[in-house]
Amino acid sequence: SLSASESFPMSQLFVKVDEVGAEALGRLLVVYPWTQRFFEHFGDLSSADAVLGNAKVKAHGKKVLDSFSNGVQHLDDLKGTFAELSELHCDKLHVDPENFRLLGNVLVIVLARHFGKEFTPELQAEFQKVVAGVASALAHRYH
């Protein structure tokens, strides 16, 4: 399980970088274009520039990251914390949970981009564990 010390650097890094969520979601939609299937109502996603500049993508990316950051405050009970969101993603949004894993991985890459050398293997390991935990929690209520 994830310990309190593992949440310390993570919440710090989230606070340091604005727009990490928007960048992560944007990169997800470009690197894995099939993920756009959930965002057809977002408007112009026709090019990398269009995706990264899209206001709805940015807004949604921020929303996702805020939720993520909240989850990070509750590493001892991710399944409980994300229970409602899990049901929402299953029942209303119909999102394949594989997308949570993909987004988590892209988020890690975005953090690496921002923090460079500071993003040590140990830090990467902590973040990967957290994103995997969140992805798993979001999939937990699927039925």
Point out which residues bind another protein (CB under 8 A): 26-27, 30-31, 48, 51-52, 105, 108-110, 112-117, 119, 121-122, 124-125, 128
In the complex, minimum distance from the CB of residue 123 to another protein, in angstroms, rounded to a whole number: 10
Q: What is the rounded CA–CA span in Å between residue 103 and residue 138? A: 12
C-alpha–C-alpha distance, residues 57 and 50, integer Å: 10
Compute the distance between CA of residue 114 and CA of residue 131 in angstroms, rounded to an integer. Answer: 17
CB of 31 to another protein, least distance (A): 4
Q: Which is nearer to another protein, 32 or 38 (CB)?
A: 32
Quote the least distance from Cβ 122 to another protein, whole Å.
Answer: 6
Q: To the nearest whole angstrom, how small is the minimum distance from the Cβ of residue 49 to another protein?
A: 9
Residue 143 exposure: Cα atoms within 13 Å on the Cβ side: 5
With tokens 């299937």, the residue in question is 37
Between helix 20-31 and helix 98-115 the angle, nearest 10°, is 120
Smaller CB distance to another protein: residue 26 or 71? 26
User: For residues 26 and 133, which CB has a smaller minimum distance to another protein in the complex?
Assistant: 26
Q: Which is nearer to another protein, 26 or 85 (CB)?
A: 26
Identify the residue whose tokens are 């520039």: 49
